[in-house]
Chains A and B, each alone.
Chain A
Amino acid sequence: MRAVATEFGVDDATFDRVTAAPRARAARAVAQAAVTLAGKSVFFFPDSQLEIPLARFLTRECGMTAIEVGAPFIHKSIVGPDLDLLEAGPQLAEGQDVDLQLERCRAARPDLTVCGLGLANPLEAEGLTTKWAIELVFTPVHFYEQAGDLAGLFSRPIRRRAALRLEAAE
């Protein structure tokens, strides 16, 4: 929103006046999911091409730590600004060598792995919690009003894993 405002010469006062309320709402909504997400680690396999902006969101606004951010193709002129906001630390990977990435992922044992549908069930079966990336393409996740939903998409798998109990109650 800020980028759009700057591009069209909207002054800061107007921008703040218009966006303050929804921004606060979004922050409140995100905060609920962030309780689950804060302090946890996340690993991205290349899939949706949204990996870099998502990593930016999860690290800056939800308190997560990114271990690796893989993207099928990194288009610098599009995700450049997002890339700049990403803290140094996570390994960036472009393209696909899935077996090597799987090795790194298994070694890192992240709290949440964002990956394609082909990997999600196999990784869950290995005990890793996953979020399938394609859902992010089908779900409206943009702008302030959807920010809470976006954060919720990532916290749900973690809450679900914690909720399922199949052992005997004793």
Chain B
Amino acid sequence: MIPLSQHIGAPCTALVKKGDRVLVGQLIGDSNARLTAPVHSSVSGTVSGIVSIEAPGGRQVEAVSITNDGQYEVSPDLKVDQDPLEMEPAEIIRRIRDAGIVGMGGATFPTHFKLSVPEGKKIDTLIVNGVECEPFLTADHRLMLESGDEIVKGIRVAMRALKVQRAFIGIEENKPDAIETLSRILVGERSIEVVPLKVKYPQGAEKQLIKTVLNREVPSGGLPLDVGVVVINVGTAAAIADALYRGMPLIRRVVTVTGSIVREPGNILARIGTPVSHLVESCGGLTEDFGKVIVGGPMMGIAHHTLDTPVTKGMSGVLLYSKSESKVTEPTVCVRCGKCVQVCPMGLMPGILADMVDAGKCELAQRDHILDCIECGCCAYICPANRRIVQSIRLGKNEITRRRSQSA
């Protein structure tokens, strides 16, 4: 089941129909919009139909349903004809687009768009995100240990596409083996440097990462390109290498399957479109009924209601909670302790913003920069009253963007 929308931007339209035979790496969906990413088959088999499924978060998306023939026959259309490091940047970016590569840290922003620097903006640094600050997730960690070479190859290609001379790989210090592995690969390399980082959530958030590595603050309402930086995830870098060196589009990714009720938690290199229930089976199944299934990590992941959902490009992990771990505590009254203010990495006053949204005063919240919120969850995590701060802030942000698009 391969969703036609696994990215930020316009969903793809299916280019295949029921009964078509498809091969691994074959293009099955695309769109004419600028901000989009094509979708490819991760298996060989027959298309059984175009269906509508519910994505985690509740959105209905179209998906291509394929009956896997078990052959994994690869499409002959995959191109490996030129050394990427000799390609023109525009060509590299085109191939990244054609490979359907999106941000694999979970944001799923189309990478070709991110690497296409607009006129007037000057980029001098590429930062590669190997921080993986979400608790429980180890997909990037495992990728760095086993595919370090691929990651570095991808970084070099991305540097060429951006025309930058230097790159930094940020890795939290709780992954000393990954730091060591990548440092070893990069011995003698002067333009790429591994930067060990203090373990502190949310160090992996791109604004915070840029601040720590380069001491530059992305301005409120701005993007990393405003401070001359582009940030990509290590998984994205590896996908770039796959696409440019092997011609293989984005059809698989490392997914962490974990939780106290998973018998043998671990990381699985899974093909896009595989039902999550299969991944869980490969991990020995569950010791008891799950109370919660979270796509992503515990701080920013999206809770879903079933394991019957496909692996997508942005699925860094699947976290399963037992029934007792899923118990909810009712919110109590805000005691104005100010802990949410102390922990907010964006310098906002989360509890107050939530108050404003709850009172229906989104304009006040907008004036107090609610749109700067990165939804990291630190506020709700620390709140002694168990207030649903992030939930309220999200409602407020959605309302504001909705009003904006209506009046625009």
Chain A partners chain B: no
Q: Which residues of B line the A interface, CB within 8 A?
A: none
Residues in chain A within 8 A of chain B (CB atoms):
none
